[in-house]
Amino acid sequence: MNKAIPNHHYRLKGISMVIISCALWGISGSMVQYLIQHYGFQTNWLVTIRLLISGVVLLCFSSFTDTTHSIWTVWKNKSDRLPLILYSIFGMLAVQYTFFKAIETSNIASAALLQYLGPVFITVYLAIRLQRMPNKYEMIALILALFGTFFLITSGKIDKLNIPFEGFIWGISSAVFLAFYTIYPKKLIQRWGTTQVNGWAMLIGGIILSFIAPPWQLPENTSFDSISLLIFIILFGTAIPFSLYTRSILYIKPNETSILASSEPLTAAIISVIWLHVPFGIFEWVGSFCIILAAIILGSKVKS
């Protein structure tokens, strides 16, 4: 970083990156649910085409803007090959696929809020890595997260789930992979840049998923409207926000990144209620508040 620029300018830059990226995720997530419900698009195909095109766009952009090294240079570095492949599979592909499946099996609001439990798993990881028990603030946050999750998936009724159990499992899985996605790629990004790392991660993830859902097999109910939504999801819901989000950890801490991501579930919840008419009662809003408050507490007290 240039020492002539005050540190708070870098922090403001990182904060802005997270807020913009997560707001775009919230909007595009609602569009994903709309494509699944109204046009019958399959999750596998959506994730495949989203990753492939976004990966190609980012790598093309990197090849024109990065004068330091070629987009192929990363593969000449033996020490970075495996980490990039691991990030592609367990970071980029996993977080995208599990999140989309959570939307498909529940709704965008619940999926976004469950994924927002990512800071809880970051806290657990840090506690294990530092070999210490959670402090009082972390314990309060963990309890809030548990209560929030309970209210979100049950609406306060112990004997009945508000969302399908499958949707809950996919949502929790997306939170685990989001924690990995947030922490793991820092060294890769520092060496090769966020555009190139995410470009390769998306392309590799898309190629792997292509064996399950070939991108050339277009959905039957394609139209101008559905293609327009798909283009927005690919560019403004994938390529741009994923790059902004991962680059933000160069300016702010991973746990701070997770806190600021509260704009995504809030945006998703509001849009899904207004546009998609997703039922969201008092218990769901209380659960949402508990989960978001838990992440704020974790981010303000946990050091990474």
Q: Residue 132: what pLDDT? A: 77
Q: Residue 249: what pLDDT? A: 75
User: Which amino acid, one-letter code, is at 216?
Assistant: W
With vertex at residue 197, the alpha carbon angle to CA 192 and CA 18, rounded to the nearest 5 degrees, is: 105
Cβ atoms 237, 29 nearer than 8 A: yes
Per-residue pLDDT of the chain (304 residues; tens, 9 = 90+): 444 444 667 788 888 888 888 888 888 888 888 998 888 899 999 999 999 998 998 899 888 877 777 889 889 888 999 999 999 999 999 999 999 999 999 888 888 888 878 878 887 887 888 777 777 777 888 788 878 787 777 776 766 667 888 999 999 999 999 889 888 988 898 888 888 998 999 999 999 999 999 998 888 878 888 899 999 988 888 778 877 877 787 788 766 776 676 667 777 777 777 777 777 778 778 887 887 787 777 766 544 4
* CA 220 to chain centroid: 28
Q: In sequence order, which residues have a C-beta less than 8 Å from that of residue 224 and are 6 or more positions away?
A: none
Closest C-alpha to 163, from 94, 117, 96, 112: 112
Coarse DSSP helix, strand, coil percentages of the chain, rounded to the nearest 5 percent: 80, 0, 20
User: What are the residue ranges of helices labelled H in 87-164?
Assistant: 94-105, 108-115, 118-130, 136-154
Q: Residue 160: what pLDDT? A: 67
150: left (phi over 0), alpha (psi -120 to 50) or beta: alpha
Q: In sequence order, which residues have a C-beta less than 8 Å from that of residue 68 and are 6 or more positions away?
A: 193
In DSSP notation, 253-301 reads: -HHHHHHHTTHHHHHHHHHHHHTS-----HHHHHHHHHHHHHHHHHHHH
Q: Residue 72: what pLDDT? A: 92
Q: Residue 109: what pLDDT? A: 80
H-run or E-run covering 237:
none
H-run or E-run covering 219:
none
Q: Residue 89: what pLDDT? A: 96
Calpha distance 299→304 (Å, rounded): 9
Q: In sequence order, which residues have a C-beta less than 8 Å from that of residue 246 and are 6 or more positions away?
A: 181, 185, 189, 194, 197, 198
Cβ atoms 39, 219 nearer than 8 A: yes
